[in-house]
Amino acid sequence: MTSKYRRIVLKLSGEALAGKGGFGIDHQTVLPICYSIKNCVELGAQVGIVVGGGNFWRGRTSGKMDHTRADHMGMMATVINALALEDALEEVGVPARVQTAIPIQTVAEPYSRDEAVRHMEAGRVVVFGCGTGCPFFSTDTTAALRAVEVGADIVLKATMVDGVYDKDPHKHPDARRYDTVSFSQVLTQQLSVMDMTAASLCRDNGLPVLVFDLSDPENICRAVRGENIGTIVKEV
């Protein structure tokens, strides 16, 4: 079996790396994710990853702190996660590189679209850290931006729910899951998929997003194979 997609950008939250503890990095949680990514590479997919930093810091919950400074701290948290993913990927036999939007040459490569594409074409997974490098932009927006820049076929957004619902399934037992939904619906109905900036960027560039459940890390590989999981978000 081969990959349905030539090139993908996987969006992981920082919390996805924390395990049940909810803070920091749990190696036993990260490894199954990396094994699934390894399977994707072996299927022929070129993989980029954007990771959040919420397992260490969230700028939007920083109280009275200056918003710009708080967001810069959040960017540093994503670098910790990116380096952890790079290390875990190499542990399972997948060559990886970290690129950061804010130059930190002693620990990672500075972001370069051309270099990122060359890495992916050579079979290396590229982990993008520091978000967009600018405050006030989410890592969802980063995932959309990097995916458009490197010519990805799709963004795979790993979440703690199995798709997009018309209302919060944790609060409403009658919530209905969509198999497909348009970005226009996401924006007008304010569905919980990604922030409006990210959704608009995907819509305007014809970039689909697959929202799926990461509680089973093998879903990453199932998504790459094109199996029927989660919710596809795209314009009709």
At 167-193, the pLDDT tens digits run 888 888 899 999 999 999 998 888 888
Categorize the per-residue pLDDT at 76 as very low, low, confident or very high, splitting at 50, 70 and 90: very high
Q: What is the pLDDT of residue 61?
A: 67
Q: What is the spatial distance between Cα 159 and Cα 25, in angstroms, rounded to a whole number?
A: 17
Fold (CATH) for 7-159+207-228: Carbamate kinase (3.40.1160)
pLDDT tens digits, residue range 207-232?
Answer: 999 999 999 999 999 999 999 999 99
Asked whether 98 and 86 are in contact (CB, 8 A), the reply is yes
pLDDT, average across residues 40-52: 98
Domain regions of the chain by residue span: 7-159+207-228
